[in-house]
């Protein structure tokens, strides 16, 4: 869909939703559901229960905040992704603040081998990344776009995208190791 | 540029991104829940506008007819003009500006966007109180209080004599769960 056509269509649907038109809401919902779901699953590192919770929360916020959606600024799916990212950030921050049970250290191996815990750490590390790092990783690995394609879409040179990808991967690794390290320290009962 | 290799879980995650089929029942249930939050449907406005215009025209015609049938009697009362008052009038007091209290919805969104949890918790509690006290909107108050309790730490879960009955009940439930 051409950008102008997309803006017109989404603006028309937005106005109809504000007038209480359920069919228009259905059109927006069906048009974006799958893409939002894939994004949330990726951000939750494949944890289904968390992905379902975040997806529901995102849609409920979206319908209550639809007045603030401006199609000329960003597409509906980009707006939804912004909400989902904020929901996830709040979720992971709440988890990080929660006091965790301190273990004596005699328990089983402290490395994060549990699949769920590992997925949570990956999700938390992703939530820590700056927006452009997260976006470039998503474009490359989730959407599987070629570097040249990302460069064309973002109006950048392929070299700039390669460099951004390197920095993003590096930041992702650092965030992951920090989170994983904290996890191990907490399990060991270290301060 | 030399790049450090990614730890195995990250390498796996990036090169084999998780994908889960969405559940059709969950999808429909989320749609139904969100559709319940839509604003009430606005009725078609044109019949209403047409009837208003017709009523207005009818009133105008009736006034014209009545005025010409029963012309207004001449006014014999002589108006006595009051001498102009030379005394300077006291300056009008400046208008008192009353700042409208924020809408709880705005507080709720500020809470959602808040950068730190203590601010978020406080804003959610304020929004909940306002929904309950000003609008008697139990559902919205409950939503805000639940969010506040979700983000608050153990100390904030202590029951405070200032808490309303709803907050007390939610805190009690939360403590039981923990």
Indicate if A15 and A86 belong to the same structural domain: yes
Which member of A22, A55, A90 has the closest CB to residue B30? Answer: A55
In terms of C-beta distances under 8 Å and separation of at least 24 residues, what long-range contacts does B113-117 make, across chains too?
A: B113/A86, B117/A93, B117/A94, B117/A97, B117/B151, B117/B152, B117/B153
B chain contacts of residue A62, beta-carbon cutoff 8 Å: 34
Encode pLDDT of A47-83 as tens digits. Answer: 999 999 999 999 999 999 999 999 999 999 999 999 9
Min CA distance, A5 vs chain B (Å)?
A: 25
The structure tokens listed for A174 are 């650092």
Indicate if A80 and A143 belong to the same structural domain: no
Indicate if A91 and A138 belong to the same structural domain: no
Are A128 and A43 in contact by the 8 Å Cβ rule? The answer is: no
Distance CA A26, CA A62 (A): 13
Indicate if A170 and A78 belong to the same structural domain: no
Answer yes or no: do A22 and B35 touch at CB < 8 A.
Answer: yes
10 Å CB burial of residue A187 (0-12, 13-18, 19+) is: buried
Indicate if A138 and A83 belong to the same structural domain: no
Indicate if A9 and A95 belong to the same structural domain: yes
The structure tokens listed for B109 are 């969104």
Last residue of a domain, one of A77, A99, A121: A99
CATH value at residue A142 = 1.10.10
Encode pLDDT of B89-113 as tens digits. Answer: 777 777 777 677 788 888 888 888 8
C-alpha pair distances (Å), A21 with each of A16, A27, A63, A80: 5, 10, 12, 19
Distance CA A16, CA B67 (A): 47
Q: What are the φ/ψ torsions at residue A29 (nearest 5 degrees)?
A: -65, -50
The structure tokens listed for A62 are 């979206």
Residues 49-78 of A with CB under 8 A from B: 51-52, 55-56, 59-65
Looking at the domain assignment, is residue A104 inside a domain? Answer: no
Answer yes or no: do A173 and B7 touch at CB < 8 A.
Answer: yes
Looking at the domain assignment, is residue A119 inside a domain? Answer: no
Any B CB within 8 A of A166 CB: yes
Answer yes or no: do A26 and B31 touch at CB < 8 A.
Answer: yes
* pLDDT band, residue A155 (cuts 50/70/90): very high
DSSP characters over A65-134: SGGG--TTTS-HHHHHHHHHHHHHHHHHHHHHHS--PPP-S-SS--S---HHHHHHHHHHHHHHS-HHHH
The structure tokens listed for A124 are 């938390």
Q: Which residues contact A60 (CB under 8 A, 6 or more apart)?
A: B33, B34, B37
Answer yes or no: do A17 and B14 touch at CB < 8 A.
Answer: no
Cβ atoms within 10 A of the Cβ of B91, count? 6
Looking at the domain assignment, is residue A23 inside a domain? Answer: yes
Looking at the domain assignment, is residue A191 inside a domain? Answer: no
Encode pLDDT of B12-57 as tens digits. Answer: 999 999 989 999 999 999 999 999 989 887 665 666 677 778 888 8
CATH value at residue A85 = 1.10.1740.10
Expressed as residue numbers, the domain containing A72 is 1-99
Q: ipTM value, please give it.
A: 0.82
Are B154 and A99 in contact by the 8 Å Cβ rule? The answer is: yes
B chain contacts of residue A65, beta-carbon cutoff 8 Å: 109
Min CA distance, A118 vs chain B (Å)?
A: 8
Indicate if A79 and A160 belong to the same structural domain: no
The structure tokens listed for A128 are 């820590």
A chain contacts of residue B150, beta-carbon cutoff 8 Å: 94
Min CA distance, A106 vs chain B (Å)?
A: 25
Closest chain B residue to A95, measured at CA: B151
Answer yes or no: do A21 and B41 touch at CB < 8 A.
Answer: yes
Closest chain A residue to B106, measured at CA: A65
Answer yes or no: do B18 and A41 touch at CB < 8 A.
Answer: yes
In this predicted model, which residue has the larger pLDDT, B149 or A38? A38
Indicate if A25 and A85 belong to the same structural domain: yes
Indicate if A81 and A149 belong to the same structural domain: no
pLDDT-above-90 percentage for chain B: 18
B chain contacts of residue A163, beta-carbon cutoff 8 Å: 1
Looking at the domain assignment, is residue A22 inside a domain? Answer: yes
Closest chain A residue to B18, measured at CA: A46
Indicate if A5 and A88 belong to the same structural domain: yes
Looking at the domain assignment, is residue A118 inside a domain? Answer: no
The structure tokens listed for B70 are 């029963």
Distance CA B15, CA A36 (A): 20
Indicate if A81 and A2 belong to the same structural domain: yes
pLDDT value, residue A110: 45
pTM: predicted TM-score of the whole model, two decimal places = 0.71
Last residue of a domain, one of A59, A79, A99: A99
Cβ atoms within 10 A of the Cβ of A45, count? 24
Answer yes or no: do B7 and A176 touch at CB < 8 A.
Answer: yes
Looking at the domain assignment, is residue A141 inside a domain? Answer: yes
**Local structure of B53: helix, strand or coil:** helix
- For chain A, what is the domain count? 2
10 Å CB burial of residue A78 (0-12, 13-18, 19+) is: exposed
pLDDT value, residue B65: 79
Looking at the domain assignment, is residue A123 inside a domain? Answer: no
Any B CB within 8 A of A79 CB: no
Indicate if A91 and A143 belong to the same structural domain: no
Last residue of a domain, one of A51, A82, A99: A99
Encode pLDDT of B135-158 as tens digits. Answer: 888 888 999 998 888 888 878 888
């Amino acid at each position: 869909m051409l950008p102008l056509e997309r803006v017109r269509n989404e603006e028309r649907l937005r106005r109809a939703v504000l007038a209480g038109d359920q069919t228009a809401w259905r059109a927006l919902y069906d048009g974006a559901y799958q893409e939002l779901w894939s994004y949330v699953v990726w951000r939750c590192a494949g944890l289904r229960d968390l992905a379902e919770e975040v997806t529901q929360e995102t849609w409920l916020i979206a319908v209550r905040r639809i007045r603030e959606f401006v199609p000329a600024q960003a597409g509906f799916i980009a707006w939804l992704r912004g909400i989902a990212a904020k929901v996830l950030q709040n979720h992971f921050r709440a988890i990080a603040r929660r006091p965790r049970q301190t273990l004596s250290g005699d328990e089983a191996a402290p490395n994060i081998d549990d699949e769920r815990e590992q997925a949570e750490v990956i999700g938390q590390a992703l939530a820590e990344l700056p927006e452009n790092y997260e976006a470039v990783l998503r474009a490359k690995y989730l959407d599987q776009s070629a570097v040249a394609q990302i460069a064309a879409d973002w109006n950048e040179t392929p070299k700039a995208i390669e460099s951004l990808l390197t920095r993003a991967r590096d930041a992702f690794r650092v965030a992951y190791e920090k989170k994983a390290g904290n996890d191990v320290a907490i399990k060991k009962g270290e301060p | 540029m030399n790049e450090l290799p990614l730890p195995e879980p990250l390498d796996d995650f990036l090169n084999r991104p998780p994908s889960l089929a969405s559940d059709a029942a969950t999808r429909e249930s989320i749609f139904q829940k969100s559709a319940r939050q839509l604003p009430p449907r606005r009725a078609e406005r044109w019949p209403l506008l047409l009837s208003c215009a017709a009523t207005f025209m009818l009133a105008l015609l009736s006034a014209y007819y009545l005025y010409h049938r029963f012309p207004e009697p001449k006014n014999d009362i002589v108006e006595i003009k009051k001498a102009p008052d030379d005394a300077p009038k006291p300056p009008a007091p400046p208008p008192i500006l009353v700042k409208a209290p924020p809408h709880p919805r705005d507080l709720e969104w500020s809470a959602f966007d808040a950068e730190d949890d203590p601010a978020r918790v406080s804003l959610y509690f304020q929004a909940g109180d306002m929904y309950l006290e000003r609008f008697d909107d139990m559902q919205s108050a409950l939503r805000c209080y639940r969010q506040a309790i979700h983000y608050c730490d153990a100390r904030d879960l202590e029951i405070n004599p200032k808490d309303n009955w709803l907050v007390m009940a939610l805190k009690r439930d939360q403590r039981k769960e923990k």
